Every structure is written in structure tokens, then in C-alpha cells.
Structure 1
Amino acid sequence: MGMPKSNDGQGRGTGRRLLLRGVLLTVIAIVVLGFVASGCSKVSTAPDEVRLHYAGGAFEAIKFEKCINPSSGATYLGPGDSSYSYPFGQRTFDFSGSDDAESGPISIVSKDNVQLKVAGSATFTLNTSCETLRRFHERIGLKYVAYFDGSESSSGWRRMLNFYFKQPLDRAMDAASQEFEWKKLFNDPNAKQQWEQRVGVLARQFIKETAGADYFCQPNYGGSGECGDVVLTIQKPEPPQSLIDALAAEQAAKQQNLAQAQINTKVKTELESIRDLVKVLGPQGAILWKAVQDGRIDVVPVPADGSVNITPRAR
């Protein structure tokens, strides 16, 4: 009778296969975890936000992938990928000097070399048509770190606006102001209107020249068609307080002179009237006439018989 065959070899083979499977599953888990930990993520956009998606990372060249439009759901970014957020819709460069403004008022110099301050704002829409926004990001946004990091008060965005808006506005206002004296800019509505129109033309020209392309469009631009012009709102130029006070004093003096001139005219008229009376009535007659006119003498009619009763005026 033969001996039964041993199952030891078969058992050892099965154990090795199970061990290998376990090791393989562990390696796969480690790879998956490493993949997730290496930067795989997802992003979505708000209604007033657009994103640029760039693929690549430490081990491959970074290249533009696509634009992620406003109000888009979750978009998955691969390991090493990155995205950059920019505002979609109307934005403002505020140079009023208020606490939340991007800049203080802009200084200008008038034709007669008086320095004035101008506050206001420039309202615009960032051109978010995909290819244009990509060029803006690669030429300007990266340089100033102007993309948003979850905060509207991005310091890079503010620095970018100060360069591409404040400097052109400064140039435009100075150039236009050289055509007007400070009193006209401050006090003359017609001169101020002409100055504003001139500033508007020059500012839009200088903003485009500085940016190098139509990156900043009219406030309602929707991404297609003509970009349009930035809208400027400019307040009245303000001279130093000392000049305002001097101007007020000058106006007060003019009113006083006008009042004195009216008094002088009245006196002159009265003197001419007295001279005419003297010519007709003589000096004493003129004095008597004036006394009667002023009520200092009562005129008493004389009866036919010549009798007159005089009653002294009570004092």
C-alpha cells in the first residue's frame, strides 16, 4: 500500500501567492496615496471668478491647459497642476484716498503752476476672453502676483492697478491741466468740463499704451466684440486750503467794493440834486427846501388878511 502524497508543496505555493498579492496591494495603495498627496486636487469657480489651469510641475514643463469659466463645477487638477483666479465682471480703481481705496488723490499742476489734488475712480472690466486673459496673466499677472488668493484685497492686484491705472491717469491729468489756470479748474464749470473731456481722451490712450493690449475694457464688456473704454469719474480739482481761503477773501472784498460803489453812486446823485437846487433857488433857498423835505420846517399857509398864529413845536 502506497503512502499518500504530501500537500506541503501545494500549501507553500498558495502562501507565496497570497503574500505576493498582499505586497502588490500594499504597493498599489502606497502609489495611490502618493498620487493623492502629490497635489491632485479639484477647484470650482464663483459667478464673479475665472481661472486659468496650467498642467505640469516638478518633472515636466508647465503648459497652459484651459480656462475655467465662472460658475463652473468641480474641475480636477492633476499632480503638480496649478490654477490662477482672476475677477470676472466690473471692477474699480479708486483713487479717492478713502480707507479701502487703491490709491490716494492724484496731484496735478495747473497752467499757472499751482498744485491741486484730484480724487475719483476708473471703472472697468478685466478682459477675460480666454486667450487675452492668458496673455495678461503671463505678461503682467505673474510679474505682479495679481491673481487672487481668496482675498479681494490682494496686494499684487493693487500694485498692478497702481502701475497700469495711476501712472497713466497722472500723465493724462498733468497734460490736460497745463491748458487751464487753477481758478478756472476750481471755479469755472465750463473749464472743468473741457478739462474732464481732455483727461478722458488722454487717460484711455495712456492706459492702453502702458498695458500693451486691450486688457482693461468698458464696465459691461462680456468677453466678445469691442473692448470699449474705461469709464472715468473725476471730482473737482482741489487747490491748497490757503488758496481757497484767499479766493473767499477776494470774493468778499469784491462784494464790499460793489456795495461801496453803490453807496458812492447814491451820494453822487444826491450831490448833483443839491447843485441843481442851488442853481434854481440859491444857497439859502436850497437849504430851506432841504429842511422842508426833511420835515424840519412846517409850511404854514398865510390867510388873505395876513394874520398868522405861530405855535411852537413841542419838544
Structure 2
Amino acid sequence: MNAQKSRGRSLLVRGLALAVGAVVVFSVLLSACSRVSTQPDEIILHYAGGVFEPIEFERCVNPSSGATLLGPGDTAYSYPFGQRTFDFSGAQDAESKPLTVVSRDNVEMRVSGVATFTLNTECKTLQQFHEKIGLKFRAYYEEGESEGWRRMLGIYMRVPLDRALDAASQEFEWRGLFNDPKVKQAWETRVGELARQFIKETAGAAYFCGQNYAGSGDCGDISLTIQKPEPPASLVEALSAEQAAKAENVAQAQRNAKVRTELESIKDLVKVLGRDGAVLWQAIQKGQVTVVPVPQGTGLNINPPSR
């Protein structure tokens, strides 16, 4: 009887020990796991695996998702969801200084602007972007910041934009680009066409979509807002002087035309009134002669002015 009780107590102790061990193991495993949640402007790539097993893509964690449990050794990579910009205005927080172009007549000009786009966050495409480009540049976000993202844009946005601006500018002369709205509009259209082509060629796929892309459907085209090219200050000053000279020439031509009209008028007066009559008429018109009407048959006394 005592042996049975002793055996029962032993089994109970073993059971409790196993239960405690299981709880400890579960707690250790749970503590090795991590949780992620996403903001409305964030999407996460979840990769499973670790030291003792291959790392494989698991899933995308969409924007505004609640807490998602990651396994031990799993990794999460955060990327921006929604509209982003590449600013090449040279402002304090801009990604780049203004870009330099050369016109058809070999004038170097500076161009500033902003490219507005959305990262293609269709899950399979985003995975490809991450594995091909994101990992190389560390373009994913860590604690809300990413210097790698800026470096990546310097290669995959700035370089093709610079190439497109330069190629388009070679088709126009600098005066038109600087001073002709129609020429500038044609230039902007051409820049847009080339930029979209070169950006896609550089990246190797449509990783950058239009500003209204929402993660599915048509990718669309990036939007460009570019200022008119700025030539060197010396050329701007020369152009202003040239325009001022042209304006003066026009004004002088108008003055000359007025003089010619007056001469023709005088010739006509001479034909009708004779030379003396024409001179008198001009004097009367200028107020140099006072005309006093005298009734017929009335005497007239004229007192010359005293000197």
C-alpha cells in the first residue's frame, strides 16, 4: 500500500515537472518571438527562418494591420506605402541639388523640380524589389528612418531623371526653354516621356508607380513638376539688354512714323494755303497767334506791345 502511494506521488511529481518544463519551454519560445504592426503608410515583408534553417519569404503585412506574431529568427522589413517624392530643388531637406542640362546650342542650364511617385507594393513585386535592390542599399525603414532609401533614390531616380532632362534639352535652344511657354511645354512633355522610360530601364521593372497607385491595379506613371531651365546670369542679363534695345527700336520707329505723318500733313497745307499760310496755320494751332474776330466795317486799332 505504501509502495503504491509512493509510486503515485512519484508519478505526480514527474507530471508536474513535465508541465513546468513545458511551460518554461513555451515561455522561452514565446520570448524568442516578436510582434509587428503596421502604420497606414507602411507595409512589411515577413521572412521566416534563422540560424538553423533557410530564410524564405513568408508574406506581406499590409498597412494598418494589428499585431502580427513572428517566429524565432524571423525578420521584418518595412517599406513606405503611399505617395513619396524625389526633390531635386536643392532645398534643405531635398534629396538632390538641381540637375544640369545642356541645350541644343550648347548652353549649360540648371533645372530644379520634384518627382512624385508611389513604390509598387503589390506583394510579389515588392518582394522582388526588396531582394534585388532593397537589401543591397538597405532601403527599408528602421525606426522610421532610412538613409539607404535616399541612396537608392540617388541611383534609381536621380540618374535616369538627369539623363532624361539632358536628352530632352538637346532638342531645344536655350532661349525657347527660358523664355517661350510653348517651347517649355513641349520640353516638359518630352522629359516626362523619357524619364518614365529611363526609370523603368534602370530599375529593370515597374517598381515606381504613379502618385495615386494604391497597391493594386494599374501602376501608372510618376508625376514630374519641373521649373523652367535657368541659364547663366550673364546670358539672362544679355537677353534683358537685347529685349530693352528691341523695345527702344520699336519706340523710335513709332516716333519716326509720327514725324513722317506730320511732314506729309505740312506738305498738304502748303499745297492748299501756300508757304506763309501753312506757317500761319501751324502757329495758330500751337497757340502762338491770337485770332480776334472783327465785324465787317468796324475800325481796328492795334497797339504794339511796349518793349
TM over 0.5: yes
Question: d(CA) in 2 for partners of 1:288 and 1:231?
Answer: 74
Q: Deviations over 1:187-206 (max 9, x none)?
A: 11111111111111111111
The answer to whether the aligner puts 1:103 opposite 2:96 as a matched pair is yes
One-letter identity of the residue aligned with 1:113: N
One-letter identity of the residue aligned with 1:273: S
Quote how far apart the aligned CAs of 1:311 are.
Answer: 2.6
Structure 1-normalised TM-score?
0.84
One-letter identity of the residue aligned with 1:41: S
Return the match for 1:166 from 152, 155, 158.
Answer: 158
Q: Deviations over 1:47-93 (max 9, x none)?
A: 21111111112222211111111111111112211100011112222
The answer to whether the aligner puts 1:143 opposite 2:143 as a matched pair is no
Quote how far apart the aligned CAs of 1:281 are.
Answer: 5.3
Quote how far apart the aligned CAs of 1:305 are.
Answer: 6.3
Question: d(CA) in 2 for partners of 1:223 and 1:67?
Answer: 12
Quote how far apart the aligned CAs of 1:45 are.
Answer: 0.9
Q: Deviations over 1:234-292 (max 9, x none)?
A: 22222223322222222222222222222222222333334444556555554444334
The answer to whether the aligner puts 1:230 opposite 2:222 as a matched pair is yes
Q: Which residue of 1 aligns with 2:147?
A: 155
Q: Deviations over 1:26-53 (max 9, x none)?
A: 876775565456x421111112111111
Q: Deviations over 1:105-157 (max 9, x none)?
A: 22211111112222222222211111111000000100111101122x52111
Question: d(CA) in 2 for partners of 1:47 and 1:288?
Answer: 91
The answer to whether the aligner puts 1:69 opposite 2:75 as a matched pair is no
Q: Which residue of 1 aligns with 2:259?
A: 267
Pick which of 206-215 and 281-290 moved more. 281-290
Shift in CA distance, 47/314, structure 1 to aligned 2, threshold 3 Å: farther
Quote how far apart the aligned CAs of 1:18 are.
Answer: 9.5
RMSD of aligned residue pairs (Cα, Å): 3.2
Paired-residue identity, %: 64
Q: Which residue of 2 aligns with 1:250?
A: 242
Q: Which residue of 1 aligns with 2:301?
A: 309
One-letter identity of the residue aligned with 1:213: A
The answer to whether the aligner puts 1:290 opposite 2:282 as a matched pair is yes
Question: d(CA) in 1 for partners of 2:181 and 2:306?
Answer: 64
Question: d(CA) in 1 for partners of 2:306 and 2:15?
Answer: 140
One-letter identity of the residue aligned with 1:193: Q
Unaligned 5+ residue runs, structure 1? 1-8
Question: d(CA) in 2 for partners of 1:79 and 1:174?
Answer: 50
Q: Which residue of 2 aligns with 1:221?
A: 213
| Larger Rg over CA atoms | 1
May I ask how many residue pairs the two structures share in their alignment?
A: 307
Quote how far apart the aligned CAs of 1:162 are.
Answer: 1.8
Unaligned 5+ residue runs, structure 2? none
Structure 2-normalised TM-score?
0.86
Aligned-partner SS, 2:172: coil
Return the match for 2:51 from 58, 69, 81.
Answer: 58
Query: Equivalences for 1:11-50 in 2 at 5 Å?
Result: 31=25, 35=29, 39-50=32-43
The answer to whether the aligner puts 1:90 opposite 2:83 as a matched pair is yes
Aligned-partner SS, 2:110: strand
Q: Which residue of 2 aligns with 1:175?
A: 167
